[in-house]
Amino acid sequence: MSQNIQKIAVLTSGGDSPGMNAAIRAVVRSCAFHKIKCIGVFRGFEGLIEGDFKTLGPRTVKNMINRGGTFLKSARSKAFKTKEGREKAYQQLQKEQIDAMVVIGGDGSFTGASIFIEEFNFPIVGLPGTIDNDIYGTDVTIGYDTALNTVVEAIDKIRDTANSHNRLFLVEVMGRNAGSIALNAGIGAGAEEILIPEENLGRDRLIDSLKRSKKAGKTSSIIVVSEGDQIGKNIFKLADYIEENLNEYEVRVTVLGHIQRGGAPSCYDRVLASRLGVSAVDSLLDGKSNIMIGISHNQITTVPFSEAIKNSNELDLELVRVADIVST
């Protein structure tokens, strides 16, 4: 164990995701377990620069594991992108005698952390916290499983109306440039079609496919559209196009929006966040830095920030085939 580390800071950065509180709690309690101090930094790198700190003990984080969002709050920081801002942040860390830090966020946050590490030789490990599941080096990110459940529960409700009225619904889901949410939630929600950025189906093949479905006896349909998909990018225009070219269904659009980011985390996300939080402290105490801790094949794994940032996950072709078959 690294004898030098007596105080660890933890912050959340970028978009919030369910399970971030569970991860913070695990970091805090892991520090207590190892008898070192833990400091919470409010509002991400912004609060780091301003020294917006609070000592966190095991009881501070009680009843936090089941809350959505992040009680440390999050923010996007322009100041941290400047040398000056990072300099101030480092001074705050020095002043508070903090020896290492855990950053929970996405690749933007890791980019910032990585620069900071190089500049000040300050130990940081990252945990992947985003619903989008778009980070290289981990099979899943904290919040992703919860978001999938939120999406399928929402579409289950929409399906009630779709069935009752023989309608076609276009449902837009989050995921930035990754189709993970759309593909998995689309399978889970029993979608007839799934439009993802990684594949370009084309509008005409979509129309053809919907015609075949109609012929095969389908009376209502759900199409899940990833926000990053090209033909679904303007989902309202796509709806008009389908109405004009299919002439079989009334078409309706629902943009699920921010309900996907919140909510009590699923058990999976709570356990994942707990495992990663414990590992983050272990890693720092082991002298590690400049890495993200993830999960691969259900085992804790690490990847250098540099790789997590520059690579992206490949489309899972088995899943694409499953989606195709189960929507028969």
Least distance between a copy of itself and beta carbon 119 (Å): 27
- d(C-alpha 311, C-alpha 303), whole Å: 11
Among 4, 66, 82, 311, binds a copy of itself (CB under 8 A): 66
Site for a copy of itself in 203-262 (CB under 8 A): 216-218, 252-262
Site for a copy of itself in 130-169 (CB under 8 A): 139, 145, 148-154, 156-161, 163-166, 169
> Measured at the alpha carbon of residue 190, what is the angle toward residues 186 and 196, in degrees to the nearest 5?
20
- d(C-alpha 140, C-alpha 180), whole Å: 10
Question: Does the annotation list 111 as a binding residue?
Answer: no
Contact 139/297 with Cβ under 8 angstroms? Answer: yes
Query: Counting contacts by CB under 8 A, is residue 314 touching a copy of itself?
Result: no
- d(C-alpha 54, C-alpha 150), whole Å: 32
Q: At what angle do helices 20-33 and 267-285 cross, to 10 degrees?
A: 40
Amino acid making up residue 321: R
Q: Please indicate whether residue 132 is annotated as part of the active site.
A: yes
Q: Which of 21, 129, 11, 127 is nearest to 70 (CA)?
A: 21
Residue at token pair 């994942």: 272
Question: Does the annotation list 47 as a binding residue?
Answer: no
Question: Does the annotation list 218 as a binding residue?
Answer: yes
Which candidate in 99, 132, 134, 229 is catalytic? 132
Among 11, 37, 39, 74, binds a copy of itself (CB under 8 A): 74
Site for a copy of itself in 174-213 (CB under 8 A): 184-185, 187-190
Question: Does the annotation list 98 as a binding residue?
Answer: no
Q: Per residue in 241-272, is it b (16+ CB within 10 Å) or e — as a string?
A: bbeeebebbebeebebeeebbbbebbebbbbb
Of residues 75 and 246, the one with the C-beta less far from a copy of itself: 75
Among 8, 29, 99, 293, binds a copy of itself (CB under 8 A): 29
Tokens read off for 47 = 């609060």
- State the catalytic residues: 132
Binding residues, as ranges, are 15, 25-29, 76-77, 106-109, 130-132, 159, 167, 174-176, 190-192, 218-220, 227, 252, 258-261
Give the residue ranges of the annotated binding site for substrate.
130-132, 167, 174-176, 227, 252, 258-261
| Binding-site residues for ADP | 25-29, 159, 190-192, 218-220
